Amino acid sequence: MSNNNNWSEIGKDISENLEKISKKLNEKNVTEDLKQSFKETIGQASNVIKQIVENIEITITDEEIKTETKKIIQDIIVEFESNVSNAGKKLADSLNFRNQEEE
């Protein structure tokens, strides 16, 4: 009976480890998906801002208004970059914290 109990325990341990491995692989996929989505969102926002600047160049003829508008857009870009940086740090911290908790 002792051997059966040992094999039973070994089987149980293997099952638990397989579940943990599967969970980690799924989490890594989710993490990579989040990172990729974050990068894509940043890229799309960047393209929108570039398009706005191009439209300003094309449509606004008054140099004073054009300069002021570009300054406002530049302020928006600086704020956007700051927010993206903070969000990226928070996301990375959150993912690292979650991974450390599970270990």
Mean pLDDT of 14-33: 70
74: which 2 tokens? 């530049």
Q: Which residue has the higher pLDDT, 60 or 101?
A: 60
8: which 2 tokens? 């039973």
pLDDT at 31: 72
Q: What's the gap between Cα 49 and its chain centre?
A: 20
pLDDT at 68: 92
pLDDT at 50: 86
Q: Which residue has the higher pLDDT, 66 or 39?
A: 66
Residue 93 has pLDDT above 80, yes or no: no
Give the model's confidence band at 1: pLDDT under 50 very low, under 70 low, under 90 confident, else very high: very low
Per-domain residue ranges of the chain = 2-102
Q: Which residue has the higher pLDDT, 94 or 103?
A: 94
Query: How far, in Å, CA of 87 to CA of 40, rounded?
Result: 14
Query: How far, in Å, CA of 57 to CA of 78, rounded?
Result: 20
Give the model's confidence band at 47: pLDDT under 50 very low, under 70 low, under 90 confident, else very high: confident
Confirm if 16 and 66 have CB atoms less than 8 A apart: no
Q: At what angle do helices 2-59 and 63-102 cross, to 10 degrees?
A: 180
Give the model's confidence band at 83: pLDDT under 50 very low, under 70 low, under 90 confident, else very high: confident
Q: What's the gap between Cα 66 and its chain centre?
A: 34
